Amino acid sequence: MRKIVPLLIALVIVTTLSIFQRELLLDIFSRLQQIHPLEAFPLLIAAITMIVARGFFLAACSPGIPLRKAITADQSALSAGYGIALGGGAVGTALRIHMFSRMNLHKQAIAASIVATAVVPSFTTWALPIVVLSPKVFGGGLEGFQVIVCVVGVLLIIVSALFWWVALNRPTLFAIVGRIGHRLQQFLNRFVPRRYWRTRAFIERADPRFFTDELRMSLRTLIKQRRFMILLSSLSTLGAGFFCLLIAANVFGARGLTVYEALVAFSLIRVLIALSPIPGAAGIAELGLIALLERAGVSTLDATGTTLLYRFLTWFTPIVVGTVLWWRYSRLRQETSHGPLHNNDSELEDGGRSLSVHV
C-alpha cells in the first residue's frame, strides 16, 4: 500500500482538478494535444540531460564507478525512493549500497559516497535561492516566504559548514559516533539469541570505532581529490533541473514567464521538495510550483500545464527509467550468476577494485 501512496496523491490532485477545475483540466489536455510530436522532442532531451547530470554527480562522489553504472544505481535508487511513500529514502539508499557492493566498491568508498551525495545537495538547495534572490535583497523587494528562506538558508549553510569542517579536521565527533556504535554493538550482542548465529557473527565482525575513523579519512581524501568535480557535477544537476523547467514552459507555451522569475520559482520549489516528508514531494511540489509561477505573472492554465510537464520529467520519468534499469541490472546479475555471461559482461566487471577513496 505504501508503495502506491505517491501515485494516489497524484490521482487525488487530478481528481480534484477534474471536479473543481474541470474546465482548466480540459484546457490543459487540449493544449497538450495540440503539441506536435517533434515539438515534444525537447522534453526527451531535457529528461536525458537530467538523468546524465545526476549520474555524473554520483560518479563524482564514487571513485571507481563509471558514469553508466552510476546512472543505473542513481535511477534505480531514485525509482525506489519515489515509489515508496514512507521510508523511501532509506530504501533507495539501501538499494544503492547493495548495487555498489555488487560492483565491488570498497565499503569505505560506499560510505563516503552516501555521505557526500546527501550533504552536498543540501548546501546547493539552500545556496541557490540565496544567490538568486540577492538582487531583491539589495532592492528591498523580498516577500515573506523569500525572507524566511534566505535567513534560514544562510544560518543552515554557516552551521553546516562549521560542523563539517570541525568533523573532518578533528576526530572528536566521528569518535563519539564510533563509541555510540560500539555500545550499540555490545547491547545487540547481549540480547540477540545465540540461535541467530549469522546475525551475531555479523554484529561481532563490525568495528564501529575503526569504521567511523576510516570514514572520516575517506571523506577528507574524497574532498581533497575530487572537490572541484563534485562541485561541478552538483551545479550540473541544478542546471539540468532548471533546463527541465524552461523546456516544460516552452513546450506548453507558457506566456509571461521571464528566465529570472523561472529561476526564482525553481530555487524556491527545491526548498519545498527538500522539506517535504513525502519522497519526491508528490502533491506539495505541484501545488507549490503552480502558486510560484502564478505569483510570477503566469496564468493559471500555463502555470498548471508547465508544472505537470515539469513534474513528469523530474518525478514520473525517474520511476519508469529506474524500474527499467533495475530490471535490466537484476537480469544481468541473474544470468551472470548462472554462468552464461560469466567474464563476458563488461557492465558487471569491477570498475573500482584498484581504486580507493582512503589513501
CB distance 307 to 290 below 8 Å: yes
Write the pLDDT tens digit of every residue in 203-260: 666 667 777 888 888 899 999 999 999 999 999 999 999 999 999 999 988 888 899 9
Query: What is the Rg, in whole angstroms, of the alpha carbon atoms belonging to the chain?
Result: 23
Q: Could you please report the per-residue DSSP string of 93-104?
A: HHHHHHHHHHTT
**349 pLDDT exceeds 50?**
no
State the pTM of this model.
0.81
What percent of the chain shows pLDDT beyond 70? 77
Report how far apart the first and last C-alpha atoms of the chain are (Å, whole number): 45
Three-point CA angle 274, 276, 278, nearest 5°:
120
